[in-house]
Amino acid sequence: MAERQVAYPALFLLLLLLGLLIAAAGDNKNDIIWRHERARLRSERLLATISAGNVPSPVPSSNSAPARVYHVSDYGADPTGSKDSTAAILSAISDAFRPLSNRSLVAGVADLGGAEIDLDGGSYLISSPINFPSSPAGNLKFHGGSLRASDNFPKDRYLIELWSSAPSVTSSTTYSYEYITLSSLMLDANYCAGGIAVVNSLRTLIASCYIVRFSSDGIWVQNGHETLISSSFLGQHITAGADPGERAFSGNGIRLAGNDNYVTDVVIFSAAIGILVAGGANSIFGVHCYNKAAGFGGTGIYLKLPGNTLTRIENCYLDYTGIVSEDPVQLQVLGSFFLGDANVVLKSVNGVMRGVDIAGNAFTGGGSGVEIVRLDETAGAFTAVEQVVVERNSADGMSVRSTAARAAISGNGTIWTADFSPVLLFPNRIDHVQYTLMVGSGFANHALRNVSGNRVVIETDVATSATAYVAVGQCQGSMT
């Protein structure tokens, strides 16, 4: 049903007439008249030939195959959304999943050759998930329209399920799909389902999608490898901020429960959690989260994988909602902007923090003293801490916290004290001190006496007028 009929005689005539008209153009006026006359005579002869039924038909190639673009409207799908189109769309997918050769992608996954399921720009009502066949296959595109869940859509499912064994999920080292593209889609889950589920799939692309009114997740990725989510908008409620119902927002914009995935250039405008990460080695770039304000209990990006974070967050915009990471290990938060007292919370679960780099970010708040980076040690203190760098961040209307600080103390006496407790991130944890004592006149012996309580105390053997320049650092090495 994917073949499109072409009116070859009419097309042949149109192309020939177009060529004759182009040929009739010239720089010389006499040439133009002559060429027009010649074109008129040729056209008359061609029309006479057609009238006699002698138009040559195009000869199809002996090795031609049916087109691999499957239009759901050809299968009876209703683009107006008045009737249920589930069966028609599933029928088109079933046909597209028939390989034309023995070629494969990764072992065991058939190559569909770039087949496409085209939604023809329609808006389709569906009463059950658009789930892809369980036979492993890939190199296919599903695109170009809208899907809307009916009122009786199953509550625990997703509009699109790239999921060969729903509703059970098992961890697998084999892949059910590879290189499936879902693009240019609007998905309306009607507050009764999720948007897209991707399970045990390799190299999946989700691009240019608008996913709204989900009850669970806008996008859920489980296991698999290398799902790329880009240039998309997700929101449980269609709003542009300052929504009166914001306190009640629930669900997750994106839930990543697998490794090595990328989220880039995505806006999440309403959900309890913008991106929930429960798998390692994921990368989040250029994401704007204003899903639910932290003051209302929302979180922009929640890294819920204690001791195995392995996550990069770069060039993001956390808009009144921040980042939370449990027992962060190998975490980078770089070059991002935090607005409205949004901050980074490092949450202790087992007291572990290693290889954390939070640098080059800008924080803007309301002047209420919210810390740009905060330790949440409600469940116990961080006790195994090393290689943590929190520095080179700027703050306006918020309290700076850092693992490195400098101060200059001038006075006349024998004791110089630099109090870094308002700035340093970890309490009572200075592991590096460097200082210089500049004496106005004479010479005084001096020594570093104390670093407890994040206060540096320098003492001279005689009273003198001097300035002490002090630099300190925390957690550059092991702090166990």
Backbone phi and psi for residue 307, each to the nearest 5 degrees, phi listed first: 80, 0
pLDDT for res 28: 44
Rounded CA-CA distance 359/336 in Å is 9
Rounded CA-CA distance 331/159 in Å is 33
Closest CA to 204 of 90, 308, 105: 105
pLDDT for res 426: 96
pLDDT for res 44: 58
CB neighbours (10 Å) of residue 30?
Answer: 8
Q: Is pLDDT at 76 greater than 50 in this prediction?
A: yes
DSSP, collapsed to helix, strand or coil, labels residue 45 as helix
Residue 78: pLDDT band by 50, 70, 90 thresholds?
Answer: very high
Tens of pLDDT, residues 212-271: 999 999 999 999 999 999 999 999 999 999 999 999 999 999 999 999 999 999 999 999
Q: Please give the C-alpha separations between residue 89 and each of 78, 138, 161, 322, in angstroms, as whole numbers.
A: 10, 18, 13, 40
Mean pLDDT of the region 338-356: 97
pLDDT for res 60: 41
Place of tokens 């031609």: 64
pTM of the complete model = 0.84
pLDDT for res 475: 86
Q: Is pLDDT at 439 greater than 70 in this prediction?
A: yes
Q: Is pLDDT at 8 greater than 90 in this prediction?
A: no
Sequence-ordered list of residues with C-beta below 8 angstroms from that of 193, at least 6 positions apart, any chain: 129, 149, 153, 154, 155, 156, 157, 158, 159, 214, 215, 216
Percent of the chain whose predicted confidence (pLDDT) is above 70: 84
Q: Of the given ranges (8-17, 247-256, 381-390), which has the lowest mean pLDDT?
A: 8-17
Closest CA to 422 of 441, 442, 398, 439: 398
Query: What value does the mean pLDDT of the chain take?
Result: 88
Q: Which two tokens stand for residue 145?
A: 């329209």
Mean pLDDT of the region 9-37: 48
Q: Please give the C-alpha separations between residue 125 and each of 96, 132, 144, 197, 331, in angstroms, as whole numbers.
A: 21, 17, 15, 18, 42
Closest CA to 263 of 297, 295, 303: 303
Residue 357: pLDDT band by 50, 70, 90 thresholds?
Answer: very high
Rounded CA-CA distance 366/285 in Å is 26
pLDDT for res 57: 42
Residue 24: pLDDT band by 50, 70, 90 thresholds?
Answer: very low
pLDDT for res 100: 85
Residue 4: pLDDT band by 50, 70, 90 thresholds?
Answer: very low
Mean pLDDT of the region 347-355: 97
Answer yes or no: are the C-beta atoms of 88 and 76 closer than 8 Å: yes
Residue 39: pLDDT band by 50, 70, 90 thresholds?
Answer: very low
The CA angle 68-74-79, to the nearest 5 degrees, is 120
Mean pLDDT of the region 455-474: 96
Q: Is pLDDT at 32 greater than 60 in this prediction?
A: no
Mean pLDDT of the region 359-372: 97
Query: 82-86 long-range CB contacts below 8 Å, 24 or more apart?
Result: 82/125, 83/125, 84/125, 84/126, 84/127, 84/150, 85/124, 85/125, 85/126, 86/126, 86/127, 86/128, 86/130
Q: Is pLDDT at 23 greater than 80 in this prediction?
A: no
Helix (H) or strand (E) holding 39: helix 29-51
Tens of pLDDT, residues 103-113: 999 999 999 99
Q: Is pLDDT at 65 greater than 70 in this prediction?
A: no
Q: Is pLDDT at 433 greater than 80 in this prediction?
A: yes
Tens of pLDDT, residues 390-423: 999 999 999 999 999 999 999 999 999 999 999 9
The distance in angstroms from the start CA to the end CA of the chain is: 67
Tens of pLDDT, residues 287-326: 999 999 999 999 999 999 999 899 999 999 999 999 999 9
**DSSP letter for each residue of 111-158:** EEEEEEEE-TT-EEEESS-EEPPSS-EEEEEEEEEEEEE-TTS-TTSE
Backbone phi and psi for residue 261, each to the nearest 5 degrees, phi listed first: -105, 160
Please give the single-letter amino acid code of residue 159: L
Rounded CA-CA distance 281/312 in Å is 8
Q: Which two tokens stand for residue 416?
A: 């110089």
**DSSP letter for each residue of 59-112:** PPPTT----SEEEGGGGT--TTSSSB-HHHHHHHHHHHTS-SSS-BSSTT-EEE
Q: Of all residues in the chain, what percent are helix, strand and coil, respectively (each to 5)?
A: 15, 45, 40
pLDDT for res 62: 42
Mean pLDDT of the region 54-68: 51
